[in-house]
Amino acid sequence: MSKRSCIFAIALIAGVMAISIGGRSQATVVVAGTLVTLDGDNDGFLDDATIDRVTFDVTAGAFITFDILADEAIGFDLNGDNELTRLNTFIRLFVGNAPGHPIAPDGNIGFDDNGALGSDGSISTFDSILNFGFQFAGTYFLTIEDRVSGFAEAIAGIDLDHTGLWASAGPGFATDHADWQLTLTPQEGEISNVFVTAHSAIPEPTTIALFALGLLGLGAARRRRHHHRT
């Protein structure tokens, strides 16, 4: 199986962490997550990176600003977690379930790479910002990644053979992950059911096999003890 064809299988078996914020709102919604380095294709190298997804519902005619806060610098712990991480974000907007919305060939209806600083405290133009008007009510989702992957990778939630800007951030920065924060601001209309999905590392086959053998050994030991007692 090629690396590109295996990303859909990876998406299906990856562990998934989800954070949900319900309720329809015209107020600003803020969510956060972490992209990490992993061996997603089991080639023995930590040279792949996760891609996060933010799913949400909007009303017809909504106009939403999506503003990323991610790229930090020495002396600027933007999210107050007592560590520094670097991230050159690229965000894509996709149609999830919005009856009547025309579908682009790749499903992508909007994107941003490097944007203006916005109003969320960004200090770097590596932080993306996207303004989008939604003609149709429904469910949409935004993918958050480092720089630019392929469309299939964005959907699958993993970027193969790309470790992200954080891996080479240098002294004073974390090199195995990067944190991000997304501010969703309805300029018009309403947003609801904001849901963050992050794909986690996949257990390697050898690890799973060793764990299974351990359980079998424990079961055998218990049977022997029971036999001696009787």
User: Do residues 106 and 154 touch, judged by C-beta distance below 8 A?
Assistant: no
HSE-CB at 18 with a 13 A cutoff on CA atoms is: 11
Mean pLDDT of the chain: 77
User: Do residues 50 and 179 touch, judged by C-beta distance below 8 A?
Assistant: no
Per-residue pLDDT band at 167 (split at 50, 70, 90): confident
Beta bridge partners of 14: none
**For residues 208-224, b (16+ Cβ closer than 10 Å) or e, as one string?**
eeeeeeeeeeeeeeeee
Tell me which H or E stretch contains 221.
helix 205-229
Q: Is the pLDDT of residue 217 over 60?
A: no
For residues 13-42, give the mean pLDDT: 72
Q: Could you tell me the pTM of the whole model?
A: 0.75
- Higher-confidence residue of 107 and 56: namely 56
For residues 141-164, give the mean pLDDT: 87
Tokens matching residue 102? 């025309």
Supply the pLDDT for residue 121: 76
Q: Is the pLDDT of residue 33 over 50?
A: yes
Alpha-carbon dihedral 117, 119, 120, 124, rounded to 10 degrees: 10
Supply the pLDDT for residue 98: 82
